[in-house]
Every structure is written in structure tokens, then in C-alpha cells.
Structure 1
Amino acid sequence: MDVESAYIPVRGDARGCSDSITEIAVRDPAAVDANIRTIDPGVVVYNHRFGIDRFSFYEEYPLVHLRHGASIGRGEVAVTTETILDHVSVALAPGERWARAYRAVAPDDVRVATVGIPEADELVDAPSPRDRRVLYAPTNYLVGRGAYANTARSVIECFAGTEYELLFRPHPTDRREGPGLAVTRDCRKRIAELPNVVFDTATTPIESMQRSDILVSDFSGSIAEWLHTGRPLIQLTNVDAPGKAVPPIGVTTESLTLELVDERYRNGEPESAKRRRASWLEYLGIPMDGRSGERAAREVLECRA
């Protein structure tokens, strides 16, 4: 954007989370209302929906909702429409699937615009590194109800001692709290014994996607970003959550095998998976032209008070 912009952390561990956007130092990240009123911005962009009912700043400042990534099969579309749209001036949808849902329930004075996923712009048309590197990025334990707990250890063992490098990237929630934390701790101990498995600490998943040839996931929102690459996707369907089956977009399997990874690395996705991918891309309606950030910036600037 061609105007001054910055971010404030709304949680202590969000301090220092970006090298590309200026951070405003705040004494108490949880004091969101007070921090925003002190800054007195022309517009506020909120990139998720959590905790919005604890705040009141949007009564004084225009609020733009820009979805953090894009849910594929976890019910996040419905949750978003139920929690934040009553408070925003503009809702920026990652794709037409989300825009339709937003428009169906948003108040008449809320503008809905489909912009895409800005953080994924740099993945568009990026060549695969061809370095035998695989990224494992499942959804979090509580939402996935078994996706992480049921597959994490077996994924590590699948790659142990092979020619592949595995980037092991659990959801941020499973690194700091809840039942997934115990799984993460066990996996880190095993990873410490394996020279070809890395516990991924890249700031954003986009960095890891740029470096990877294949994504192994389930129904994580990271799949929406990965679709920008056109590279093979393997989805693990070992999920315990009632009524939350993994939507088949890439190649699906109950458990990962090295033979399956080899086949995808050598030959890409089979025709059946390519057809599924094309159908999902049409359904999601995510613009993948590398210009999502430009569209989002224009909408934000138009919303300034």
C-alpha cells in the first residue's frame, strides 16, 4: 500500500512475527481496544475472527476482515459468517465459495469482495525445487480430531533414513497447548534422532511450501495455499471427527507409504486427482493470478475513514 501501515500483536507470542511489516510496540497485546485507540488508525484489518466480541474498537474505526488462509473442509466458512460479519465494514473473501456464504448472511451495509489469498501470491507459477523435500502440515489436533495424532508418528517413520527430507510442521496450536502438545513433544524427540527430518520453524507455511515438492496434509487450510503451486498433494484420511471426512482433492490414503511418495515425486498426480483438483478449484473460486495482495490493498484503502 502507498500509505503508512503497521501491525500490532494481539497476543504475546505474536511479537516479532513479521520482517516485512512494521510492528508497533505495545505494553499489553491483550489490550486491543486501548492500543488501537492510541494509534488512531484510518482503518483496521483483522485477519481472523477469534475474540472479536471482546473488543469494541470497530464501533469507532472501519474494520476490514481478511481471512487468514482459507478453510477447505473444517467448517470455518460457517463459523466466520456467524462470528464477525456483523462487525465489519468490508469482508474480503479468499474465493467465491466464501463470498457466496458471506453475502447470504452479511448485513446490507457490509461490502463483500473476492480478492484471493494474498500470502499465496508468491507461490503462483513458482517452479518446484525438485529437491526431494516433502512438507507435512496437518490441521490441529482439536479440529482434526485425530488427523494429527493418528498420522504424525507414522509420517516421520515413513521418511526415516530415506533420500527425502521431511519438513515436519504441526499447527501452531499443537506447539503450545492442548492434547496436541504431547504429540508434538514425542515427535520432536524422534526427529532429533533423524538427520533427514526437520522440525519446521519457518515463520510462515508459505516459506516451507516454496521449498517443498509434495504436501502431505488432511483437510488443513494450508491446502488452499498449496493449490497455487500445482504440485502434488497427498491427503491422509485417518480422521476421527464425526461428520468431518477429508474432502478428496489430491491423492488420498489412510496411511502414507514411501512407494506412494516416490510415485508422486516421479510422475506427479494421476489424471483422476487432476480432475478432482480442477473441480475443486472451480468450486472454491480462488483467484490465483498472483495479484490478490493488490486487490486486498485497494479494498482496504477504499475503506479508510
Structure 2
Amino acid sequence: MTGVDTSRGPERLHLSLITPGSAALPVLTGDDRVDVDDLDWDFPDGCVPGEMILHVAGGDQPAVVGWDLLIEGPQNEDGLDLDPVELFPSGVSLLAVERRLGHPLPALPGTVASPRAGEVLDAVAAEAASPTPWRKLEPEACRTPRNPEGHLLEYGCPLCEADGVPLETHILVRRVPEEHATSIEVCESCHDLLHAPLPAALDDLIGRNRPPCPCCSAMRTHRIIWGMPVLPILPGYTVAGCAPPAVPEEFAPTAGSGGPRRIPTFRGSPTQVRTSASAPGLRPPHGWGAVPTPPC
């Protein structure tokens, strides 16, 4: 943790609010890909140099992402100058901090006075060292039966693509296209990732172990499903339909193969094009069969 002595505690502790929350960590680390004009960074009134500030990423579940000493600003004409004390790359759940404290924190942005200011810093440090499981913080979240039956088991976990593991239902917070599901079945470890204080985007987690597109090296790819699967289709998958009676133009016979072969049908189970076209003589357009998003 930090080498700063908090035993006496600061006189006051301020909590700033950065929205959208996804920009909080990049702006604190100086990522020049973040445009400060596209975010709101709100400080409570009365901040003066020499005081401590905790920076909170806004959202449905706010999380502490940084702890700084205020040198200048935020009302100073020369701008904002902060001396970093501690960075929390994984985020520290504000709900978990309140649980440790036994009382709610002020509305954001806000200020905590002594002696509770030191207690808040201690709670943040303790939570960063030993995070509280989200299942204790949100016992009602995603509360659905485990081990769903039916076609969803054919996918395995769509995030890590592990087969034969118990699945849990994760309710998608943001709206997804109507042709996709509003919930997703994932394994326990991936479910924990989706409830992390600073969760990664679902699009970045789906099929994260897949190879990149061999055509353009895109990391976000779709796995092709041959046949007619039961709807809805999970995010990260594309339906190719039933096997065509003839070899499509994209598949060409290789030299000495004796001509194209029939593409087998896989009863709606997800496969890579490489697997679906594994019969001798067929050469798929994308070697691994991962369809880049958008297609190359």
C-alpha cells in the first residue's frame, strides 16, 4: 500500500467524481487517448492545497481509483496539480468501503471531516488489500438458478469458452441489440470479472482467449455457429445457417485435393470455420474462421 502515515488522519478528506467511470483510470494515469472535454471531473467546494482527495469512478457501482494530495486547484487559475499517493488499477468498491465503515459516505462529490476522514482512508486501504466478494455486497444481483439447461450449455462459457463447467446467469445492465440476449450464461470466475469494481467491457471479455483475426489482427471476433441454433444468440457469435448444398465461392479446392468436399453440418453447435471446413481440399477465407468485428 502507501507509505503515507494516516495514523493521525487528515482534517478533511475530499471525494471527487469522474464520469464516465471508464475514463477515470485513464485520466489519472495520463492516457493521452482520453479527451478531458469528454468527461466531467467534479470536486466538492472548499478544496485547498495540502488536503487529501479520493477520486471515484462514477457509475452504477462507484469505485475509488486514486488517492492524491492536492497541490494546486481545482479552483486555481493555474489549473489542477496533484501529487499521487496511491493508484487503484482494479478499483475499490465504494459500497464495500461503506460496508466496512458501517455508515454511508456523503453524496458525490463530497467531503468527510475528521475523525472519520482517517477511518475512510483505512477502510479503502483494507478493501484494496482484501476485496469483499461481490456476492456479499449484492446478494440479490443476478439471482437466478445455476446450471441452466438446454441449448445454452452448447456454448460453454462465452467469455473464456470453457466447456463442462457450471454456468450462472449474468443480467446485462446496458441494452444490447434485440437479436441478442439480455442476459448471458457465464462460469463463476468470469461472472466475478463482470462484477469487478472496474469491470471490463463485455465486448472485451467475450471470447478473450480466441486468436486474433488472421486477416486484420482484430482482437474482437465472432465465432460462427453452423446450423439452426435455438434463439436468442449470445453476443460474440454469428449464425451461418445450415450447410449449403454446394461449396460457396469463398471456399476453393486446393491443388491436388481432387475437388471441393461437402461442408459438414454441426447441429447448431458453435464451431470455428477451420473446424467446419476441415475436410481435405477446403480452404476457408479466414484461417481460424474467426469473423472480425466488423468483418474485414
Coarse TM-score class (shorter-chain normalised): under 0.3
TM superposition score normalised by structure 2: 0.25
Q: Which structure: greater helix fraction?
A: 1
TM superposition score normalised by structure 1: 0.24
Q: Which structure: greater strand fraction?
A: 2
